[in-house]
A and B are shown apart, each in its own frame.
Chain A
Amino acid sequence: MSGERGARRVTVTKTYKLFLGGGFPRSESGRSLSVVDRRGRVVAQVCRASRKDLREAVEAAARALPDWSRRDAYNRGQILYRMAEMLEARAGEMAELLALTVPGGLRRARRETAAAVDRLVHFAGWADKFPQVLGNANPVPGPYYNFTIPEPSGVTGVVAPAEEPLLALVSLLAPPLCAGCTIVALASPEHPLAASVLGEVCAVSDLPAGAVNLLSGRREELLPHLAGHREVIAIHAAGCSRAERRQLEEGTAGNLKRVRVVDLEAEAWYDEDECHSPWWIEPFVEMKTIWHPSAY
């Protein structure tokens, strides 16, 4: 039997989950958070990641690091470009989700999504160029061949702000990612749906599993553990209070993390002069200097 003719079709609603190690698990804690739209209606549930989820995400990022960091720069560039292609294809869905919770409506959300695509394209292109801009040969005296090359720092924690939750997230993770770092990102707590869809973009972009991990949850619950984790060597954060900034920088005292906290107003995330630059990549690379004698 096919049932009563003309019955209204029930839509299939999406379950938003974490993006961790290349898969979409729920939080091991079995907790979730309600996402509320601008009128105060609950529009979705997202996973509320726990400390243990964070640890697993860091482990996944650490496992992915040898593969991702040693890929050819050309390959990394193509994969970031693939992310841009996949995000462009989902631009409509992304903009609608953003418009649900972020003030400014669909028009603003479309602009943010387009800028996020462009940012991915920009850093896709840097992957095989930034070593030529940030590195160089050194004219040392004596019969030595001496050069300095940038290498990825390692597992990088990203903390996304409330404003421009997609564009800022992409702007914070693309520079270390294009350099060969792997990422554990905390989604904007106020607007987590963008990160959920970005996870779906990552999953179909040929990124190795664990190269990008995206966690939704409460910032105050996760931030101390991200700051204190010894496998995380760098942090790229925005929208932090003074106390959060201090907390992140105190993590430096544990394992000498490289911490960059960005202070940008909402509109500044669209400023390409500000955000399109190899100096956004430079904090997430280590300069390696190699000496070799030259002789017959």
Chain B
Amino acid sequence: MSRTKSPPEPAAAPGWDYAPAPETAPVEIASRYGHFIAGEFVPAADGAEFATINPATEEELSRVARGGAEDVERAVAAARRALPRWSRLPGRERAKYLFRIARRLQERARELAVLETLDGGKPIRESRDVDVPEAARHFFYHAGWADKLEFAFPGRRPKPVGVCGQIIPWNFPLLMAAWKLAPALACGNTVVLKPAETTPLTALRLAEILQECELPPGVVNIVTGDGETGAALAAHRGVRKIAFTGSTEVGKKLAAAVAGSRRRLTLELGGKSANIVCEDASLDQAVEGVIDAIFFNQGHVCCAGSRLLVQESILEEFLEKLDWRLRSLRVGDPLDKNTDVGAINSRAQLDRIRTYLRIGLEEGGRLHECHDQPLPAKGFWCRPCYFTNVQPADTLAREEVFGPVLAVMSFRTPEEAIARANNTPYGLAAGIWSDKGSRIFALAARLQAGVVWCNTYNRFDASSPFGGYKESGFGREGGRQGLRPYLELER
């Protein structure tokens, strides 16, 4: 197949000027928040607290209780007390609470979106159009399962596992809370949830919603804190099932801690997902998809398409288009509705990303920033970028950066693309761009990844199972398969 080269794009940056379009919906934030235990907000037992800041301004938003062993103990005790009644409540009644929560999330959608963007730095466009509606969708979808569980597992009688300890990350704070809570509650379990240290505010707002919905006290308990709080929760013998989303490093520690205890574990961990662009792909569509794959949520996405594999014959043309598109990305105020790339979630994460940028250069990679607009003076920022001249053994091709940094490599044949894509201990996601259906499905079948996006990327839905192969974890979230970790299957 011959390909005529498309006319050169304008060499300069697109240079479109946008007037600021800030989201102005006001959100009230209390000066301090306690844990949510047994239906009430309570301070930490030892009075400890920590600040949560806006990463776009570095200003303090609120002070939040720091959970210790005693707080975890109280929360688990509350969840255990609530378990008998909640698990015996008929499924159709449990469902109604979940439907209520979904509705209330929809009613308070804008407030939640603004709060998410303030606390985490993600563009309002994403929190408004993805995080919050998907969170509501998760409760709505799982609500309907509550009275249908016996149809999901033929030949078995599903029973709740008990108290679940759920530890969630900072990249999709409210959405991850919904991913964890909705299936657990639908299956009749009670929960202690530990939100991420840098993004506790939307989970605490969700706690208010649970109060409004009159969810029985103790069914959901939220203990805020840091890694030590999470470790205390995972170590608690009253927790029968642990669900963790976060780094592979922490996931392996949890696995070691749980070994031999007869407690259940699901892990949704890191990734270094390959995004494969074949020479017959629709190039403009693929460029757009590659941008979405790596720069969505500043690249703070476990399934980010962070390894781009482009077929050699189209590499040059593809990179020209990618440069042009990178220059048009708007980086800055997350509350501006035109912003594409917001603030890096924390100073610690920015430091990690900068370390990877330095290593990438030291190992001989070539950095392409393209984007050259000024960045805000305060806050944590990283220009979206990509590296060329990356070898498969290089750090940027192997390790998860969790930032807006793309490693570009090439391949000649589909076999080589598969070998390169699978050459990683991770196996969370993959992307394929091609106009040939049979090629797409042949590649999709061979890629060791729990989610394969064909001619699209970063699509999520509550009905669609998500989770990894290999060291990206085990267990699925979403869909029928996502119910399995929250149930014992009895005969």
| Interface size, chain A (Cβ < 8 Å) | 40
**A233-B467 in contact (CB<8A):** no
Smallest CB gap from B156: residue in A: A279
**A279-B252 in contact (CB<8A):** no
**B252-A256 in contact (CB<8A):** yes
Contact of A29 with B by CB under 8 A: no
A238-252 CB contacts (< 8 Å) to partner B:
242-243, 245-247, 249-250, 252
Smallest CB gap from B476: residue in A: A287
**B474-A290 in contact (CB<8A):** no
Smallest CB gap from B452: residue in A: A290
Known contacts A254-B252, A256-B251, A258-B474; A288 and B260 CB within 8 A of each other: no
**A148-B456 in contact (CB<8A):** no
Give which listed residue, A243, A287, A291, contacts B453 with CB less than 8 A. A291
Chain A residues near B470 (CB-CB < 8 A): 233, 255-256
Chain B residues near A146 (CB-CB < 8 A): 461, 463-464
Give which listed residue, B258, B450, B463, contacts A287 with CB less than 8 A. B450
B211-227 CB contacts (< 8 Å) to partner A:
none
**A246-B260 in contact (CB<8A):** yes
Instruction: Tell me the bound Cα distance from A290 to B444 in angstroms.
Output: 8
**A256-B267 in contact (CB<8A):** yes
Chain A residues near B427 (CB-CB < 8 A): 286
Known contacts A140-B464, A250-B259, A250-B260; A290 and B454 CB within 8 A of each other: yes
Known contacts A286-B469, A291-B459; A253 and B464 CB within 8 A of each other: no
Chain A residues near B5 (CB-CB < 8 A): none
A98-148 CB contacts (< 8 Å) to partner B:
133-134, 136, 138-142, 144, 146, 148
Chain B residues near A292 (CB-CB < 8 A): 440, 454-456
Known contacts A133-B154, A148-B481, A289-B465; A255 and B471 CB within 8 A of each other: yes
Main secondary structure of the interface of A (DSSP, over half): mixed
Contact of A277 with B by CB under 8 A: yes
Instruction: Tell me the bound Cα distance from A292 to B456 in angstroms.
Output: 7
Smallest CB gap from B155: residue in A: A277
Give which listed residue, B154, B248, B255, B464, contacts A289 with CB less than 8 A. B464
Most chain A CB atoms below 10 A, which of B258, B425, B474:
B474
Instruction: Tell me the bound Cα distance from A7 to B310 in angstroms.
Output: 78
Instruction: Tell me the bound Cα distance from A287 to B450 in angstroms.
Output: 6
Give which listed residue, A136, A242, A252, A288, contacts B449 with CB less than 8 A. A288
**B459-A279 in contact (CB<8A):** no
User: In angstroms, how far is the closest chain B Cβ from the Cβ of A44?
Assistant: 35
Instruction: Tell me the bound Cα distance from A246 to B263 in angstroms.
Output: 11
**B474-A253 in contact (CB<8A):** no
5 A-B residue pairs with Cβ-Cβ distance under 8 Å, sorted by A, are: A146-B463, A256-B471, A256-B474, A287-B465, A292-B440
Known: A146-B463, A289-B451, A289-B465. 15 other contacts (CB 8 A): A138-B461, A141-B461, A242-B260, A249-B259, A256-B255, A273-B491, A277-B156, A279-B155, A279-B489, A288-B452, A289-B450, A290-B451, A291-B452, A292-B455, A293-B456
